[in-house]
Amino acid sequence: MHLRRLLPLAAMLLLAGCGSGRIAATAEQTTEPTASQTAQPTVQPTIQSTTQSTTESTTESTTQSTTESTTESTTQPTTQPTMGSTTKPTAAVTVTENWMLRLANRTHPVGEYEPPELTLLKNGVQVDSRMYPALQRMFDDMRAQGLKPFVREGYRTYAQQVDIMETRIRSYRSQGYSEQKATALAKDYVAEPGTSEHQLGLAVDINAENGNNWSVYNWLAVHAQEYGFILRYPQDGKEITGYEYEPWHYRYVGTDAAKEIYDAKTTLEEYLGAVGEMKEAS
């Protein structure tokens, strides 16, 4: 239904949207994360990282690098079998039990959810470790083609969302608005705590280090699904997603879902059959 919207500009306020979600269930699928974690870090470019999970406090680059040469750092990212194998029913069925498909938006707040494990990128941004391999692989390929992508924003905590909201409200209060009015105004621009998709750690805002953001957006619009990412807030999707077009915001959903969503030119809400709920709320 939605036209795939590529380049058109469109005023985009960074941070504006960046959805939110709910805690559908708790299907962690801990199948193979462990292996991945160790291997990943090696891949380096911008996203280089140090598995900063609870597990290893300071396993550094050195250790990892060595480890991984042999390990399948490269292989794994591609794998991501979690979703496919056993559970392969219809999307709508599998959905709520699959972490990759957890919905996070205004009608599906995730409360104070925290990703089970985070990977720290070189620039200080964090992302859910389970999607890191795919992200790294995508960045490697982009760089190989001369692009200069970087993750401007990844995981955002519940507390950070609270801060952003409070700061905004204070700003309006200082302008003379009543507490009630200031709060209402703030909510027009800031996602309510617990409703940002960034809290899942599966969403990333990608820009170009050289400022040529569209070179990156255009590439992503065509290739992201190959790595399991989808353009989360398409151009004509506000009615359904609740957000304006955000060519920089990509959400990891796994390659199976990403390709289906891409081919159908649809949205995550529609894919999950959660459109009705969204409309009611808005």
Catalytic annotation, residues: 246
Taking CB under 5 A as the binding criterion, the range among 15-23, 59-67, 159-167, 222-230 that sits at the site for Zn ion is 15-23
Q: Is 152 in the site for Zn ion (CB under 5 A)?
A: no
Q: Which is nearer to Zn ion, 46 or 241 (CB)?
A: 241
One residue of 115, 164, 182, 205 binding Zn ion per CB under 5 A: 205
What's at 263, amino acid-wise?
A: D
127 forms part of the interface with Zn ion (CB under 5 A):
no
Nearer to Zn ion, 41 or 115 (CB): 115
Nearest approach, Cβ of residue 155 and Zn ion (Å): 11
Query: Minimum distance from CB of 17 to Zn ion (Å)?
Result: 6
User: Which CB, 137 or 249, lies closer to Zn ion?
Assistant: 249
CB 142 within 8 A of CB 219: yes
43 or 103: CB nearest Zn ion: 103
**Looking only at residues 232 through 261 of this chain, which bind Zn ion when binding is defined by CB under 5 A?**
249
Tokens of 244: 């304006």
Which residue do the tokens 């992201």 mark? 224
Indicate the length of the chain as a whole number: 282
Q: Which residues pair with 63 in a beta bridge?
A: none
> How far apart are CB 161 and Zn ion at their closest, in Å?
12
Under rule CB under 5 A, how many of the chain's residues touch Zn ion?
3
x/- letters, 164..203, toward Zn ion (CB under 5 A): ----------------------------------------
The owner of tokens 């990608």 is 206
The number of C-alpha atoms within 13 Å of 201 and in the hemisphere containing its C-beta is: 21
Instruction: Write out the E strands in 140-276.
Output: 149-153, 203-208, 229-231, 249-252
Residue 18 vs 103, nearer CB to Zn ion: 18
50/113 with CB nearer Zn ion: 113
Stretch that binds Zn ion, among 10-18, 43-51, 64-72, 104-112 (CB under 5 A): 10-18
CB of 204 to Zn ion, least distance (A): 7
Residue nearest Zn ion, Cβ-based: 18
Separation between Cα atoms, residue 248 and residue 105, nearest integer Å: 17
In terms of Cα–Cα distance, which of 177, 161, 231 is closest to 203?
231
Please state, in angstroms and rounded to a whole number, the distance separating the CA atoms of residues 2 and 265.
6
Burial 102-136 (b: 16+ CB within 10 A, else e): bbbbbbbbbeebebebbbbbeeebbbbbbbbbbbb
Smallest separation (angstroms) from Zn ion to the CB of 198: 6
Rule CB under 5 A: say whether 18 interacts with Zn ion: yes
Say how far apart CA 252 and CA 101 lie, in whole Å: 8
- Order the strands of the 118-121 sheet from edge to edge: 49-51, 118-121, 126-128
Which residues here bind Zn ion, judged by CB under 5 A?
A: 18, 205, 249
